[in-house]
Amino acid sequence: MIDKKADLAGPGISTYEEVEECLPDDYKALLGPKERMKALFKTKNFIEENLCRELNLFMVQVPLIVSKESGINDYLDRDGSRTPIDFSCGLGLEKRIEAQVVQAATKWKRMALKQFGCQAGEGICTDMRAVRKDYFLDHDHGVYVDQWDWERVITEDMRKLEFLRDIVEKIWGVIYEAGQMVKKDFPGLDVDKYPEIPKKLDFFHAEEILERYPDLPRKEREIKMLQEVSPAIFIIGIGYVLEDGYPHEMRAADYDDWITPTIKKHGRQFHGINGDILVWNPVTRRRHELTSMGIRVTKETLPLQLKEAGQEHFLQLPYHQAILKDEIPLSIGGGIGQSRTFMYLLRTAHIGEVTVSVWPNVLTEISKRKNIHVLE
């Protein structure tokens, strides 16, 4: 039996020998740096405009820094392995502000819905920037993170899988159409070497995927699904403990709702109204996560999830109190990785070809040997 516990968090590559092995040997960028940047920003504008139209969102400013005591920062998982950057600020203050660089704007967005006066069916979208210092740095994970973090007000009757699926399909439609647009406007991307971006996104619950591949850890299950079943999938129910005694992934306990019972199948109860879009990247020949999203926790489900995670002390923080006291609206939201999406649509082998960040020398040398030239 493969160790499933070790695979519950992290990118799935932990050595640079593995990185070198998985990167293609026959790579040649389809667009040069100048054309790639033109294509990237055209794609960025297209996705922002159409995402806002399809989900009824409007663009807002988003924080890079939050106070530590607010509890607003995103901890990304439950095991405490990905911690934010802490620092003190405020020259001349008797007691300096204890601040953190955001890892994602997940919690801030939900509170911001009230700040911006959003009504049911209306929401916000952000051009979010963050720092995640505890990633293993490889060809599709960087310290610097950019996302379209979005959030939309919902009503109680929308807290079901059918609504989640409808929103996911709209998001995938925008990504697919962005791919068609940029390929038309930049003919260098229209090559036979790589398959077409799939128009159809297939949905599977994490329990169904486990049932197909019961002896594999989750990343291997995801790879098998993308290779053997569909090159573009949405995995439902990430965070709740599955039939084998492990969650599909250690999803944080205080934003997505992964504990709510949804459907019964094969005599078993499935849980969770959240999930991820994953695609098969034909350039890197690896699984590629584009977005995590979900219907958010309520005053009923938040304490249950925090208890499962052993984090009940979080309930005293302002963000969590706001949920318990119904001071912020019910919502659905997610984060779409910008550079990940550009990497996928523009057919690059390294995220450093579409964003500027810091990379270890060992990765830079591997990239050069593979004819991959990252931005500096």
The catalytic site residues sit at: 74, 132, 147, 276, 289, 292
Handedness of CA 320, 322, 324, 329 (dihedral sign): negative
Handedness of CA 128, 155, 301, 167 (dihedral sign): negative
Largest CA distance in the chain: 64
Angle at 115 between CA 111 and CA 120, to 5 degrees: 80
Give the integer Cα–Cα distance in Å for 294 and 161: 10
DSSP result, 269-332: EEE-SEEEEEEEETTTTEEEEEEEEEEBP-TTHHHHHHHHHT-GGGGGSHHHHHHHTT-S--EE
The CB density around residue 20, as the number of other CB atoms within 10 Å, is 17
Contact predicate 311/253, CB 8 Å: yes
